[in-house]
A and B are shown apart, each in its own frame.
Chain A
Amino acid sequence: MEHKTLAKLITQIENNPEVAPQILQQFPEHQSKVIGFTGSPGVGKSSLIDRVIRYIRTRDLSVAVVAIDPSSPFTRGAFLGDRIRMREHFVDDNVFIRSMASRGALGGLCDAIFDVVKLLEVSGFDYVLVETVGIGQSEIEISHLVDVTVLVLSPGFGDEVQMLKAGVMEIADLYVVNKSDLPESDTVYSQLLAFLALAGKSEQQLCKASTHANNGVREVVEKIERLWESFYADGTIERRRKRRTRYHAEHIVRKIVEQAMNTVQENATNPYEFVKLALSRLCENHLRGGQGGGI
């Protein structure tokens, strides 16, 4: 698909997720390798993605990237700067990069992301890479969206220990210690090694990289591919995609319910009556709006 057309479709979905089903049904099914990159701001996710794109492109495969940054809860404005690190690929016809703002969604992902990823898949890209800022819960969210989750870490971000405690780190499939050119990265690496042993994960799920020195990127990509292949073979991908559908549906339902509840508010005097009103409003809406897609 032409980049221009694709970009406009994404905007439509972003501004109004309800149109997504109509848009998506126009395209034949196609499955991409959908890889998520998450981690604290500043660990080097965008830089790593830049290198990963470069590596994937040497094999003449096509890549789409979606980079999500937070919107301001007060002004709804956002500053989207991840592209800066991928500028080398701007004029490559086989690379499509899109920045998205979270637009108030919890957990670091934006509401439209499920459909946007789907659209990029059916557009025929070999890879779809998703970058999200890792702030606690959002790692879990992203693992519901992608086939393989990569958690990027680097020295100087003390919050890793916090994340270990919260168990958030459990969900990643691959752990990349970036900035291995910095001496302190060794400490992070050994901490992670210990963590993986405790969590019963394999050492294979850990690697080092330096996007500055261009070290280890090849290994990162190869590990991602190997993981993807094995997940594909053992049905993990299929399971994850089913879970993604369910999770996406949950998102939609939650939104619908929320909207119905917003219409009741003042009229109800107790919670049971509230529920009753909300549900009846919900049924009305549903009957009127037909099956509808997202919200």
Chain B
Amino acid sequence: MRIFRILIAKPGLDGHDRGAKVVAHALRDAGFEVIYTGLRQTPEQIVRTAVQEDVDLIGLSILSGAHLQLSKKVIELLKKEGIEDVPVFVGGIIPQDDVPQLLQVGVKKVFGPGTPLSEIVQEVKSILQEGVTKTGGA
């Protein structure tokens, strides 16, 4: 079985990385290779990392309230780099009202506070599996 690589990134100026780290930990324990780049990453840094590391999925942890701007920027840059096929997940303090907008700009999945780790791992697995069957494996 192929091993998938996931980028967990934490944009925004705040220092609250408890959630990002816990999710990174859970994904590692679920058999993924997790690339973690730490606090306060700009969308440019995140996307360059995604390019160089050739990741299969990007998880953004956003608690600053700027999730709309940041997600949009990241997805724009992914397009610019020609890797918009990499699915983007967003987790954090996201009001229900903003979810449709996030999905509309191209976010694949939004996880609000208190989402069980098992659910996140399951979603990641299924979306990556889906990608593999679509492209006939890589």
Which residues of A are at the interface with B, using a C-beta cutoff of 8 A? 3-4, 7-8, 10-11, 15, 71-72, 75-81, 83-84, 87, 90-91, 96-99, 101, 103
Contacts and interface: CB of A to CB of B under 8 A. Distances in A.
Contact of B34 (A15, A80, A91, A98): A80
A71 B33 CA distance: 8
A71 B37 CA distance: 18
| Contact residues of B: prevailing secondary structure | mixed
B121 to A, nearest CB: 11
B118 to A, nearest CB: 15
A7 B52 contact: yes
A76 B24 CA distance: 14
B138 to A, nearest CB: 7
B82 interface: yes
A98 B52 CA distance: 6
A11 B54 contact: yes
A99 B35 contact: yes
Contact of A77 (B31, B44, B45, B138): B31
Given A77-B30, A87-B41, A99-B35, A7 B138 contact: no
Contacts of A98: 52-53
Nearest to A86: B37
Contacts of B44: 90-91
A261 to B, nearest CB: 22
Contacts, number: 81
A81 B17 CA distance: 14
A79 B41 contact: no
Interface string B22-45: 001101111111111110010011
B45 A4 contact: no
Interface of B: 2-3, 5, 24-25, 27-38, 41, 44-45, 48-49, 51-54, 81-83, 138
Contacts of A96: 52
Given A98-B53, A99-B53, A79 B45 contact: no
Contact of A4 (B5, B24, B34, B81): B81
B83 to A, nearest CB: 7
Contact of B38 (A15, A71, A72, A87): A87
29 contacts: A4-B51, A7-B51, A8-B54, A10-B54, A11-B5, A11-B54, A15-B3, A71-B33, A72-B28, A77-B28, A77-B30, A78-B34, A79-B34, A79-B36, A80-B33, A80-B36, A83-B37, A83-B49, A84-B37, A87-B37, A87-B38, A90-B45, A91-B45, A91-B48, A97-B52, A98-B52, A99-B35, A101-B3, A103-B3
B40 to A, nearest CB: 9
Contacts of A83: 35, 37, 49, 53
